[in-house]
Amino acid sequence: MAEIIPFRGLRFNAALVGNLSTVTTPPYDVIDQAAQETFYRKNPYNIIRLELGKTFPSDTPADNRYTRAAAEFNRWLKDGVLCQDPLPAFYLYQQEFPYEDSTLVRFGFICGVKLVDYTEGMVLPHEETLPKHKADRLELMRACHANFSSIFGLYNDPAGTVSTILNKTITEKIPDTVLVDESGTTHRLWVIDDQKIISDLREEISPLPIYIADGHHRYETALLFRREMETKGVSGYEHVMMTLVSLHDPGLVVFPTHRLVKDLPGFHLNTFLQKIKEWFTVEVFRLTPTVGAFSSSGTQDFLNTLKQRGFTAHTFGFYPGGNEVFLLSLKEGVNPNDFAPPGKSAAWANLDVSVLHTLILEPLLGIGSQERASERNLAYTRDAHGALEQVATGKQQMAFLLNPTRVEQVTAVASAGDKMPQKSTYFFPKLLTGLVINPLG
């Protein structure tokens, strides 16, 4: 079902740029303005200048973040800062990272994946996208004709055949790139141009659908750009760079993405709590704010309870400020399918994030699809402690804390042809941008 190809990637010349950890970044959509500035200062060749350049009030159609990225990209190619591998290759990619009290390893490979419409069932999304984010990525592709960052895709290989090929390959070859990022994650990259290995991987992946884990905006943008180039009669834009990882990889970790509500007029806590008791049981926990921070033990006790309750019921943490945080658990007998929009699958209806949106955010707070698209009243974070702090300090109005979506829920929703609300998943660790660049055309 899925067509994958090797490609001649562009990689940084360590002899010119120095430590490769100073030129790479996480994906653009998790980089705020402060982090952008930090990456700019790290190294004059940091990939941030291409992937997420600065904007200025003086920007014009002829001089803006996209035109500057293209000019920088061309300079780096000309000066040998970026060098193209001599042969088409797959890039085996391993991430070793600390998680809770252990160390995990996630292993996949970077390749070109043929761009197809979702309706063909070969590449399946699981999350909604926003037009303004696609417009930004499309302008960058038009200017630079390259994939600077990799989409994250998942495939179902319960027998572990692909993993066996990958593990056998790395036992026979030392990594071509090794670096450690600021979070303590070790990234290893092997350039594999052996035709037998490439052929074996293509054969094993070909009958499998690919589920997009991260990078929906970039995939849909690549589809749009391919169509643009096709109308011009230009080839070489039929594939997009993806990192493929098995659904059964032991290093596949999903974090929750919590909701922060802001600028909501006319909210009354007691009225809200009375209404929500129709569908949820409400338990009150006391937090102990210290100077500038919450008691870590009290907060963690609450988060542990949230996690445990989540095994048996749709459960959320709700914090409107002050010293009390509320645990909201869907009552037994309340069926999420009864509240789902027409046409939505049971897989979609039974997601925690769907329950939150259909029973709380939309009917009780008035935050529907239009409000989510405008991002006027809703912000997102994976940091539960930080979410509480933002509300306690008045930066946000209230917070809803969630448990993580399970990987099998992601694939069930995608297979049913549904899409989760935006920011329903946070796969960790993020893929590194700048390890390999896929030149198009």
Tell me which of 11-20, 50-59, 82-91, 334-343 is least confident: 334-343
Residues 190 and 397: their CA atoms lie apart, in Å, by 47
pLDDT in the model for residue 46? 98
Q: What is the pLDDT of residues 157-183, one digit of tens each?
A: 989 999 999 999 999 899 999 999 988
Counting residues of the chain whose pLDDT is more than 70, the rounded percentage is 97
Chain-wide mean pLDDT for the chain? 93
Q: What is the pLDDT of residues 125-162, one digit of tens each?
A: 988 888 888 999 999 999 999 999 999 999 999 899 99
Phi first, then psi, for residue 430 (nearest 5°) are: -70, 150
Phi first, then psi, for residue 190 (nearest 5°) are: -115, 130
pLDDT in the model for residue 291? 42
What sections of 29-155 are H helices per DSSP? 33-42, 48-51, 65-79, 131-144
Q: Quick check: 286 pLDDT over 60? A: yes
Q: Quick check: 287 pLDDT over 80? A: no
Render 246-311 in DSSP notation, one character per residue: ETT-TT-EEE--EEEE-S-TT--HHHHHHHHTTTEEEEEEE--EETTEE-HHHHHHHHHHHHHHTT
Q: How confident is the model at residue 301 (pLDDT cuts 50, 70, 90)?
A: confident
Taken in order 115, 116, 122, 125, the sign of the CA dihedral is positive
The residue ranges of every structural domain in the chain are 4-253+428-439, 257-403
Residues 303 and 107: their CA atoms lie apart, in Å, by 30
